[in-house]
């Protein structure tokens, strides 16, 4: 019996490929670049299972390219690059790679951005590198102290709670906006659930941790930014389109808010040059989960998701579990 075929859209860290090669024929994109639509379609037509990345748009055309496609395994926690609804209609499980390692890494990164922008670390570093530092001065590059400030967390999932844990250690007060009240969380962290409007008005730091949905697209826009304190900072490690980038640029330019720390953007990997020109924002290239530990765990999970489906079992990390009621393989 021939081995099932797996197409991997980009070379990923160990151990996915060795795991897959034990049981499957594996083809990997030989170039360390994003595949063109034509290349992606060609790979999908060949395979039984697709291991893709957030940068791969797996839409109706891609799914229809192979009527025998059995599983789509996304090497990511998010999956807004995949038409999950259509995949479900076609009976195809869509899997992702959430883990505690991802939670910890993203929470660490969000808090790194918070501390960095508060202490003006990016400006400090540039000041030294460009040999501008001539002597200590009492007013040189003054930042703010985070202890005692109020952190507003928008979206209290696992990552939001991870940020709260780190914030508590640093002595911040915590408020949150979430669909449901979290009594155990409130008791543990002394936190309070508030409306988004109240959170925007009261927070010194606002950290976004919501998925990208029609309801969260441009959740933070001109109106919301105008509600923030002029001394407040916005941190986004969720998804770029959650924030109206043009409105954010204007708020930063006009000092309507003090600054921002961003790991995600509306048109990745293209970052608005008006944003990169600003010095009151820290920018990182969607690397919140970029640790060796995380990427290796994601690799293992992405491979195991595929192997489970190919063995006619349920994958542990399936974003459309209802698909199992209509399995066709």
pLDDT digits (tens, 9 = 90+) for 249-300: 999 999 999 999 999 999 999 999 999 999 999 999 999 999 999 999 999 9
Q: Which of 123, 186, 268, 296 is catalytic?
A: 268
Residue 74 DSSP class? E
Tokens of 174: 């915590």
pLDDT score, position 328? 53
What are φ and ψ of residue 277, in 5° steps? -80, -15
pLDDT score, position 1? 78
The DSSP H or E segment spanning 7 is strand 5-8
Residues of the chain with pLDDT under 70: 327-329
Active site residue 328: no
Q: Which of 209, 239, 245, 295 is catalytic?
A: 239
Grouping H, G, I as helix, E, B as strand and the rest as coil, residue 191 is: coil
pLDDT score, position 327? 66
Active site residue 286: yes
pTM for the model: 0.92
Q: Distance of alpha carbon 205 from its chain centroid, rounded?
A: 19
Q: Which of 89, 123, 286, 296 is catalytic?
A: 286
Give 92-116 as a DSSP string: --EE----HHHHHHHHHHHHHHHHH
Active site residue 239: yes
Residue 267 DSSP class? B
Grouping H, G, I as helix, E, B as strand and the rest as coil, residue 64 is: helix
Full strand arrangement of the beta sheet holding 5-8: 25-28, 5-8, 49-52, 71-74, 94-95
Selection from 69, 73, 80 nearest residue 96 by Cα: 73
Q: Report how far residue 123's alpha carbon sits from residue 116's, in angstroms, rounded to the nearest whole number.
A: 9
Is it true that domain 5-99+292-326 has CATH number 3.20.20.220? Answer: no
Please tell me the total number of residues recorded for the chain in this structure.
Answer: 329
Q: Report how far residue 81's alpha carbon sits from residue 252's, in angstroms, rounded to the nearest whole number.
A: 29
pLDDT digits (tens, 9 = 90+) for 186-210: 999 999 999 999 999 999 999 999 9
Give me the architecture of the 100-283 domain, per CATH: 3-Layer(aba) Sandwich (3.40)
Grouping H, G, I as helix, E, B as strand and the rest as coil, residue 62 is: helix
What are the Cα distances from residue 101, in Å, to 17, 156, 257, 279? 20, 17, 32, 31
pLDDT score, position 329? 46
Grouping H, G, I as helix, E, B as strand and the rest as coil, residue 323 is: helix
Structural contact between residues 219 and 245, judged by C-beta atoms closer than 8 angstroms: no
Q: Report how far residue 229's alpha carbon sits from residue 7's, in angstroms, rounded to the nearest whole number.
A: 49
Structural contact between residues 160 and 182, judged by C-beta atoms closer than 8 angstroms: no
Tokens of 107: 């929470």
Other CB atoms closer than 10 Å to residue 286's CB: what's the count?
17
| Residues facing 174 on adjacent strands | 151
Helical segments of 9-99, H only? 16-21, 37-46, 60-64, 84-89
CATH 3.40.50.720 range(s) for the chain read 5-99+292-326, 100-283
Q: Distance of alpha carbon 220 from its chain centroid, rounded?
A: 16
């Amino acid at each position: 019996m021939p081995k099932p075929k797996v197409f991997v859209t980009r070379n990923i860290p160990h151990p996915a490929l060795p795991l897959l090669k034990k049981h499957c024929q594996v083809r990997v994109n030989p170039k360390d670049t994003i595949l063109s639509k034509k290349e992606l379609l060609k790979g999908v037509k060949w395979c039984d299972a697709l291991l893709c990345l957030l940068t791969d748009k797996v839409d109706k055309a891609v799914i229809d390219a192979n009527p025998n496609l059995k599983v789509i395994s996304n090497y990511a926690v998010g999956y807004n690059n995949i038409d999950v609804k259509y995949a479900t209609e076609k009976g195809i499980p869509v899997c992702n790679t959430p883990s505690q390692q991802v939670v910890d890494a993203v929470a660490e990164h969000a808090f790194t951005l918070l501390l960095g922008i508060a202490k003006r670390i990016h400006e400090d570093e540039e000041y030294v590198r460009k040999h501008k530092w001539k002597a200590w001065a009492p007013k040189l590059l003054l930042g703010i102290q985070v202890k005692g400030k109020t952190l507003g967390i928008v979206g209290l999932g696992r990552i939001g709670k991870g940020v709260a844990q780190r914030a508590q250690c640093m002595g911040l007060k915590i408020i949150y906006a979430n669909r449901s009240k979290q009594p155990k969380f409130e008791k543990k962290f002394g936190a309070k659930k508030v409306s988004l409007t109240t959170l925007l008005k009261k927070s010194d730091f606002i950290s976004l941790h919501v998925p990208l949905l029609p309801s969260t697209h441009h959740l933070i826009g001109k109106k919301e930014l105008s509600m923030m304190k002029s001394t407040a900072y916005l941190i986004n490690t969720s998804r770029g389109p959650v924030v109206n980038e043009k409105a954010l640029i204007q708020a930063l330019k006009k000092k309507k808010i003090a600054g921002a720390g961003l790991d995600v953007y509306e048109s990745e990997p293209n970052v608005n040059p008006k944003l990169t020109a600003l010095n009151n924002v820290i920018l990182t290239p969607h690397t919140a989960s970029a640790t060796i530990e995380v990427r290796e765990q994601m690799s293992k999970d992405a491979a195991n998701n595929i192997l489970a489906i190919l063995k006619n079992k349920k994958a542990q990390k399936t974003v459309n579990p209802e698909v199992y009621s209509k399995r066709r393989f």
